[in-house]
Every structure is written in C-alpha cells, then in structure tokens.
Structure 1
Amino acid sequence: MELSRLAVPSVYGLILFLGYPSQWLLLHLEPWPLSKNQLIHTNLVLVCIFITYTKTVFVDPGTFPRKKDDGEELSVGNGCGKEKARKWCRKCNAAKPPRAHHCKECKRCIPKMDHHCPWTGNCVSYTTFPHFMRFLFFTVWGMSLLASFLWTRLAHLWANRDLPSYLGPSKLHLTHLFVVTVVNSITFFALSVLLIRNIWCLAVNTTTIEGWEIERHRTLLRRARHFGGYLEGPDGIQMRIKKQEFPYDIGIWKNIKQGMGTGNILAWFNPLSGTPPIESALSFETNDFEDASTTWPPPDPDRLHRRFPKSMARAQEAFTYRDAGLTRDETLAAFKQRQDADVTRRRTPFVERLEAQVARERRSEEEKDDYDHYEDSEGEADELDDSEAKKENGSQSGEEGWRNAEGERLKDFGVDEDVEFYDEQEDDMPLSQLLARKRAASASASASASAPSPPTSY
C-alpha cells in the first residue's frame, strides 16, 4: 500500500484524537471540568471540521465540459474583460481554460488549480477551495479552543507544583496531557500559517502556482536587466522581457467573492455551503492593466520551441522511406512519437549559458595578454565550460528546474511539468479546432449583423 493512501485516514485519526479523548481528559483535570456550554461549543466545531474536511476530500476538483449537446466544442471565455483560452493541452486533447493546469495525480486539467494536497488526496481548485478554506478556519478555531482549555489546566498544575503528587492527576493523565499539548501546538502552528497564507492569496486572487509564476517573472526581469532588457531564446532569438502585471487581481471584495464562490458572507462560514459551478471557471475577469493580447504566465524564453534546422545535416530529418515497412497504425504511431519528441526539444537552459558566458569573460580578463592563444583555444574551452555547467547543474537548470525562494518547483504542487512546459499556444492547436473557432466566430458575427437595430426615438 502506498503511504499517500494513509494520509486521509491519518488526518481523520488526528481529528478524532484531538477532539474526543481530550474532552474525557479535560473532565478529569482541575481546576474544574468542562461546562455544558463548553462541551456543546467544542462538539459543534468538531462537526464542522468533519463536514468541511470530508467535502475537501470528496468534492470533485472540476472536470471541464468538453462538448455541447450539438457536438461542438464548448467555448471557453467570451471576451468582455475576460481572458480567453489560448492554450491546448496535449494530454487532455482539449483547450486549456485560463488558470487551469494539468495535474499529474488527477490526470486532467484542473480549473484554477492551487495545488494537489497530499493530506486531502485531492486538488485544491476552483471548486474545492471554499471547502478547504472553511476546513482551515474551523480547524484553527477548534485547536485554539482546545489550547485555551489546556492552558488553564497547565497553569493550575504549575501553580500547585509544590503539593504532594497524590493530590494531582495520575501519570496516565499527565502523559495524555503532555501528548495532546504537543500535538495540538504543532498542528495549530502549521495550520495557522497555512490559513493566513491562504487568506492572503484569497485577498489578492492568486493561487500557489500563480505565486510561483509571479516570482519566476520577477527573476526573468532581473536576468533581463543584466542583458539590456533581452534574454536569448532558441537559435539565438532575442526575446524582450517586460514587466507584466498579474491580471486577475480585481479588488479585494471581488477577489473574495470569486474565491469563495459567493458574495454571501454567511455562506463563507457555512459548512454545508454548495460548490461553485464549473461553468464559472471557464473564464475569469481581468483588471485590464495589460493589453488584451498579453497572456499569463508572461512569455518566457525557456518555454519557446526550437526550430527545425534549415539544412539536412541530420539524417533522421531528411526525407527517407524509414516507415515503408510499417502498417498504417504503426506509421501513425511513429509519426506521433516524432511529433511529441519535436514538441519537447528544448534550448540550453539559461543558467548553463550564463555560467559559460561568465567563465569566458573571466578567462578573457586573465588571458588578455595572450589574445591569440585565447582565440585558438576558445572553442575547446567553451565546450569544456558547457559540459562542466551541465555536470554541475544537470539538465534541469532552465524553467523546468527553477525553484522559488522556498525551494519549490511546479511539480511540488502536483503539476504535470511535461505538459505545463510544452503546452501548445493557440497557433499550434489542431487545425480542426482552429477551423471550428473560425466558424463559431463567423456565425456570431453574422448573428450580430442580422439582429434588428433598436428603434430610434425623435
């Protein structure tokens, strides 16, 4: 059995351990047992914790509707201040709506994916985030309530520490008290930090993954300043890196309404509140700080594809009859394999290029008195520097291996990196999908043109 399958039962066990045996313990400790109102309060919070955690675990993180009743692809995004889908997921074979990411655990694109939580065995997404927030809120509330009860008993024990031991609690009670206090304190601290962080993300309308993307963009801006505002892409392409504002921060109130799925404040704290409909996750309102043509995440040279070489230096790129002996299905499979291999061809990562360039500059300064000798050995030295950089940094020094300030990569949030780095842009979508979009746009334009104009009043 995988250890990940034990995570959810372990959390249920922790809730039971801190919730019910602790009540029995507090009934046997001085200065007084829990009152009736305290017991009611405690058990109500426990019920809320169980309900919200169960919803966080078992509510579907979201599956995008693929087709309408008439068989046409469902349109995602409709303009009017909302970003449209501009990417295509190769594994789902469908358009990827804004803010969606392909989860390697759920095996599909998840709407407004925050991360795949190992402690719930589920994605924290557009549909599960409200339940996740309520679970954190009620859990922190319940543990703070338990901490206050424990503190009162611990303070009483400390104040009467000089009395004979037979007047105090038994060894079983003391051991139980110590274990409950330690477990509750550690869990309370961890979940309090998580709650505060998610409240901040809710207020500014960012997910954990988007926070990673924002930090990545800032890193690219710092790198670009070192090279005059440009970074090198595949085959020597120079890409201009400009500061781009996060588009989905539309104001605190709207952000919270969108994140919690409703503007009803009472519903935010209701453990029985419903799940936001998946249809509302097909497009998101933007703040229009940037031009409508910009996309999020911002352009990144590490995401660009290499172009095919103009010459036929490599035999495998030439026109050959290598598939002549294959069947039709085998030929299609071989073509698909070569197509996927082409999609994932990558450029030399930025860190390797930068370190090689710094090494060349350092060597140039040290050997400037012997310039001719430097010119003769430059090719060999460059190859050595590149190999040493690759050996030191490995093949994961570009965006694939980039880590934020907390040392996290996208795969640490459950994202399928192979899909996320190489997802295709709108221009690379299948021709059938592009034609379907063109027909839909033409039909919409024709319907608008044929609509009767409103009467003019004089």
Structure 2
Amino acid sequence: MAVKLKWPWLGIAIPTFLISFIGYGAHYFILSNFLSTLKQIAFESSLLMIWVSYYLAIYTNPGRPSPTYQPSPSVWSNYCKKCQNYKPERSHHCKACNQCVLMMDHHCPWTMNCVGFKNYPHFLRFVFWVITTTGVLFWIQVKRVCFIWQQRHLPGYLFKKSELLFLTILTPMNFFVLFTITILFLRCVFNQIINGRSQIESWDMDRLESLFDSQRLIKKLIENTWKIHPEAKSPQLERDAENLLTQHRIRFEEVVNFPYNIDLFTNAIIYLGPLHLWLWPFGAPTGDGNSFPKNDISKYDVNSSLEDIMLSLPWPPDGGKIKTVSNHSNLAIETFNEGGEQVVRSRIAQSGRSAIREKWYNDWGESLDDFGVDVDME
C-alpha cells in the first residue's frame, strides 16, 4: 500500500540520509581498508549515478498535457476542471503536484513528485542504480564478514574497531534497502515493461476483473459498444449480446484488452527511450506522452464479432467514470446447508468491491487516492 508521510519533506530526507550514511559510511570505514583504488572509484561512480538519477527524478516534471490537446474519437473525452483542459489518454490529475500528469504512474512520496511519462526513465534508473550499488556493497560486506570470522583467532588489533562496528550496523541496513527496492523495481518492470501498464492501469485491470467476476462488467461493455460504434449494431450482434448477458461462459481476456501493451521490447522503447540510452542519465522516452501506439487487438472493424468490437473499446472499456452498482443493491447471495436443507441468506458485499471506481481498492488495499490521483477530477 502507498506510503503517506505526515511531513512530506521526510520523503526526501530519509532516502538522502540512507544513501549518504550507507554509501559514504561503508566507503570510509569499510571499503577503504582493503579495496583497490580502482574499485573504490567504481563504487563512488555508482553512488554518483544514484544521486544524479535521484535529482532528475525529483526535479523533472512528469509531463503536462499540451494546452491545445483535443481528444480523438478513439479515446474517452475527459475534461479537467482544475487545469481547464482535456486530459490525454492515460493521464490523471495529481492532487499533490496540482497538475494533470501524462501517463501518470503514481505520486511518489520519496521524490515528492509524480512518476509520469517524462521522468519515468529517471525514476527507474534511480531504482536500478540503488539496487546495483547496494547489491555490490552487500556482496562485499558478506565476503568481509566471512573473512573476519575466519580470522577471529588472530589478535584484535589487526582489525579496526570502526570497521567491525560499521559492518555490524550497515550490513543489515544495506540489505533492507536492497530487498525493498528490488521489490519496487520488479513491480515497476512487471507493470510497465512486461505488461505495458502504469501502476494505476494495473489497478484498473484488477478492478475490471473484479467487476467481471461479479457479473457487472459485460452489460457496461455492451452499452459502450453501442454508444461508440452505433453503426455496428445489428440484429445478430444484439442476439450475441443477449447471449453474453445470460450464458456467462466467456473469459475475461476475450472481452477486455489493454491496448497499450504491444511487446516487451516495444514497451521498453516507448517508456525508456532507445536501448543505448537506457543507462544514460539524461535518456528520455519516445513520443510526446499525449498519445500512444496501440496493439493490433484494439483495431476496430465493423464486421467483427461482438467480442472483438469490445476488445477495441478505449481504455478503460467501462468508461472509468461509471458508478458500479451491484445486481443486488450491494447484497451478495450466499447458500449453505443446515440440517440437510439448503439455506439462502444475503450478506453485505465488501464495500471496496461494490463501490464506485473512486473508492474501489485492490488486494493490496490501494485505491486511486493512494496513487495520488485527485478523484474529484476523475
């Protein structure tokens, strides 16, 4: 779940302290005792890359929509009353940054800035260099601890007390940073590079699956299909729609397509820029962030089946603003056996699973608000 700090400046102070204390403390009190000069320079260079990437992730604007942007028929029309402008596809208004953010991923408390289209490469490079630096340092620390343990029978004056002290303090601290940042890195890569989604879009996908499982999504998809593509409506497709509503034999991936997931390499190029610039501190993504290429599944053909036309709906296919109301007025039906007889009773469904989009939460307990989205502007 997203971290919320009472004093936002701590989001910068805590990482700055950890980078400085672990990095320079380890260098001065541990590494300088046995590493060669060349290896120490390499370590400091890696540390420098952390600082540069972190600075750019903090101070690079995540991207504002063009003031002349006008939505195309292939995306939902979404007007931001605060910015007095239309929001491009994948954009959201951040309540902390007080602006609409292109391809908003989340508002990061550790940079006091949104992670969006224009600074996502800086953010991912920052995370990458933290993992690289702490990973190498942890390996060196473990080897040093093993070496000292093997030499434990030698006189104590052969080892500096300051080195022993900082090994004891910094090794678990460094491992904690390595472990937590690695989890963050894997989540970012899985969402953005492998699946082509921002964290908000992954959250939306979970929401749609929840609606599908509770049989509340198909009806809305059919309504949106007739609304966006009225020319496709025919007696045959209307019969197909009726069958979908009554049979419930279709799978989620047969009616919902995430249009921005193309392939792993193309996703990486779009969000990180050309391959040779991935580790370059000033590397930037391709495109303008106001529109994005889409996969072949999202192409509309009037002669397609109803399911294929649903797959071509703009993201999110339910429109994103629709209040999702349970078929039983927030009641779920539960059956069980009691004394050999079947008993039927109703129970209140989980509020997070039957609420409007702005209040829905996923299995991590995250709502739109946790990502920094101004839900009133959605």
Query: Does the TM-score normalized on the shorter chain lie above 0.5?
Result: yes
Q: How many aligned positions are there?
A: 334
Among candidates 160, 181, 185, match of residue 171 of structure 2: 181
The answer to whether the 8 A contact 1:99-1:112 is kept is: yes
Q: Distance in 2 between matches of 1:50 and 1:28?
A: 21
Which runs of structure 2 are paired with 1:53-452 in the superposition (5 Å)?
A: 53-67=54-68, 74-76=69-71, 83-84=74-75, 86-170=77-161, 172-200=162-190, 201-224=192-215, 230=219, 243-260=255-272, 262-263=273-274, 265-273=275-283, 275-276=284-285, 280-292=288-300, 294-299=313-318, 303-304=321-322, 349-350=325-326, 353-355=329-331, 358=334, 389=348, 393=351, 397-420=355-378
- Partner of 1:123, secondary structure, is strand
Q: Distance in 2 between matches of 1:396 and 1:89?
A: 26
Q: Distance in 2 between matches of 1:50 and 1:18?
A: 13
- TM-score normalised over the length of structure 2: 0.77
Q: Distance in 2 between matches of 1:10 and 1:127?
A: 24
Deviations 1:2-31 (A, max 9, x none): 5211211221221111221211112565xx
Q: 1:297 to 1:51 in 2, by over 3 A?
A: same
The one-letter amino acid paired with 1:298 is P
Q: 1:271 to 1:303 in 2, by over 3 A?
A: closer
Q: Where do 5+ consecutive residues of structure 2 fail to align?
A: 223-241, 246-251, 301-311
**Which protein shows a greater Rg?**
1
Q: Distance in 1 between matches of 2:353 and 2:36?
A: 62
Q: Distance in 2 between matches of 1:126 and 1:228?
A: 29
Query: Could you say which residue in structure 1 is the equivalent of 2:228?
Result: none
Q: Distance in 2 between matches of 1:35 and 1:27?
A: 9
CA shift for structure 1 position 393: 4.2
Q: 1:169 to 1:41 in 2, by over 3 A?
A: same
Q: 1:232 to 1:63 in 2, by over 3 A?
A: closer
Deviations 1:292-333 (A, max 9, x none): 461111216x843xxxxxxxxxxxxxxxxxxxxxxxxxxxxx
- Partner of 1:34, secondary structure, is coil
Query: Could you say which residue in structure 1 is the equivalent of 2:230?
Result: none
The answer to whether the 8 A contact 1:213-1:297 is kept is: yes
Q: Distance in 2 between matches of 1:136 and 1:229?
A: 39
Query: Could you say which residue in structure 1 is the equivalent of 2:23?
Result: 19
Query: Could you say which residue in structure 1 is the equivalent of 2:46?
Result: 45
Q: Distance in 2 between matches of 1:48 and 1:168?
A: 31
Name the Cα RMSD after superposition.
3.5
- TM-score normalised over the length of structure 1: 0.64
Q: Distance in 1 between matches of 2:377 and 2:156?
A: 64
CA shift for structure 1 position 228: 10
Deviations 1:245-302 (A, max 9, x none): 1100112221111011x22x221111133x447x7111111113135461111216x8
CA shift for structure 1 position 142: 0.8
The answer to whether the 8 A contact 2:66-2:290 is kept is: no
